[in-house]
C-alpha cells in the first residue's frame, strides 16, 4: 500500500519536473503581456502570430527543414548500403567500418562544427551552407545505419535468394523485395534523423552566420536581443511539431521498435 503512494508521489513529482517547463512555455507563449512571464497576464495568440512574421525565423525555419529533409535523405543513401553490406555479408574490415560510421555520435558536435569551419570552410572556401549540409548528413548517418540494420537483421535473406532464382537480378531484388519489406524501418530512420537534425545545436554553432542560421541558433540569437514571448511561442510550436511527428510515427509504425 505504502509503495503505491510512493510510486504515485514519485511519478507526479518527476513528471512535473520533466513536463512542467513545457507547459510553462505554452502558457508564456499565450501571454497577452509584453514580457516573458509566468503566469501570463491574460491570454492572446499575438505572439504565436508574431513568430510567423519574423523574417529571420522564416528563413532559418526553411534552412532547418532543408537540412533535416535532405541531410537525412543523404544519410540514408549512404547508410542503407552499409547496413545491407554489414547485415548480409561478412564485410572486410567490418569492425573498423562500423566504428568509423558510428563515430559522429561519439564526437561532441561542437568539435565537428569547429573542425569543419577551420579545415573545410576556410581553407577550401566551401560555402557555409554546404558545410552545414555535410555536417548534418554525417551526424545522422550513425542513426540511419543503426535503425536500418535492425530492420534488415529481422528480414530473412532466403526471400532474396528465392527472387534471384526466379530470374531477378541482384539490384532488382533489392528494390523489389528488400526495400518494400524494410520500408517501415527506413521511415523510422527518417523520422529519427529528421528530429535529430532539426533540434541540433552544437554542430551548427560555428557554421552559422548572418543569413545562414538554423532555427535553434536563430532562436538563441533572438533571445539575446529581445525578451519578448515570441521565442516562447516558437519553442512551443516546435515542441508540438516534434511531439506530433513522433506520436504519429508510433501510432502508424510502432516507431519504438526500431529505436
DSSP annotation of 228 reads: S
49 binds other proteins (CB under 8 A): no
Q: How many residues make contact with other proteins (CB under 8 A)?
A: 99
Nearer to other proteins by Cβ, of 3 and 53: the residue is 3
Q: Is 44 in the site for other proteins (CB under 8 A)?
A: no
Contacts to other proteins from residues 129-158, by CB under 8 A: 134, 137-138, 141, 145, 156-158
C-beta of 114 vs 212, nearer to other proteins: 114
Is 239 a binding residue for other proteins by CB under 8 A? The answer is yes
Question: Would you count residue 120 as binding other proteins (CB under 8 A)?
Answer: yes
Smallest distance from other proteins to CB 4, Å: 9
Q: DSSP letters of 58-119?
A: HHHHHHHHHHHHHHHHHHHHHHHHHHHHHHHS--TTHHHHHHHHHHHHHS-HHHHHHHHIII
In sequence order, the β-bridge partners of residue 212 are: 209
- Distance CA(228)–CA(47), nearest Å, equals 8
CB 247 to other proteins: min, Å? 8
Residues 209-238 interacting with other proteins (rule: CB under 8 A)? 216, 219-220, 223, 231-232, 235-236, 238
Half-sphere exposure of 132 (CA within 13 A, CB side): 28
Note whether 7 binds other proteins by CB under 8 A: yes
Question: Of the listed pieces 41-49, 50-58, 146-154, 240-248, which binds other proteins according to CB under 8 A?
Answer: 240-248
Which segments of 117-210 does DSSP mark as H helices, in order? 122-124, 128-153, 158-165, 170-173, 179-199, 202-206
Amino acid at each position: 500500500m505504502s509503495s503505491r503512494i510512493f510510486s504515485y508521489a514519485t511519478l507526479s513529482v518527476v513528471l512535473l519536473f520533466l513536463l512542467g517547463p513545457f507547459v510553462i512555455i505554452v502558457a508564456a507563449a499565450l501571454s497577452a503581456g509584453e514580457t516573458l512571464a509566468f503566469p501570463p497576464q491574460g491570454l492572446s495568440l499575438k505572439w504565436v502570430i508574431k513568430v510567423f512574421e519574423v523574417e529571420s525565423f522564416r528563413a532559418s525555419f526553411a534552412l532547418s527543414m532543408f537540412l533535416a529533409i535532405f541531410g537525412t535523405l543523404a544519410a540514408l543513401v549512404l547508410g542503407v548500403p552499409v547496413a545491407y553490406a554489414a547485415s548480409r555479408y561478412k564485410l572486410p574490415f567490418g569492425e573498423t567500418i562500423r566504428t568509423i560510421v558510428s563515430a559522429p555520435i561519439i564526437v561532441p558536435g561542437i568539435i565537428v562544427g569547429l573542425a569543419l569551419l577551420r579545415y573545410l570552410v576556410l581553407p577550401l572556401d566551401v560555402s557555409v551552407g554546404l558545410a552545414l549540409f555535410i555536417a548534418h548528413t554525417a551526424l545522422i548517418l550513425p542513426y540511419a545505419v543503426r535503425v536500418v540494420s535492425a530492420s534488415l537483421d529481422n528480414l530473412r535473406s532466403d526471400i532474396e535468394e528465392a527472387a534471384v532464382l526466379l530470374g531477378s537480378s541482384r539490384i532488382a531484388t533489392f528494390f523489389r523485395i528488400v526495400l518494400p519489406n524494410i520500408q517501415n524501418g527506413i521511415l523510422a530512420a527518417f523520422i529519427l534523423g529528421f528530429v535529430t537534425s532539426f533540434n541540433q545545436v552544437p554542430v551548427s554553432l560555428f557554421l552559422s552566420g548572418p543569413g545562414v542560421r538554423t532555427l535553434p541558433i536563430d532562436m538563441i540569437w533572438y533571445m539575446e536581443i529581445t525578451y519578448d514571448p515570441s521565442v516562447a511561442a516558437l519553442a512551443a510550436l516546435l515542441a508540438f511539431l516534434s511531439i506530433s511527428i513522433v506520436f504519429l510515427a508510433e501510432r502508424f509504425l510502432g516507431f519504438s521498435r526500431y529505436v
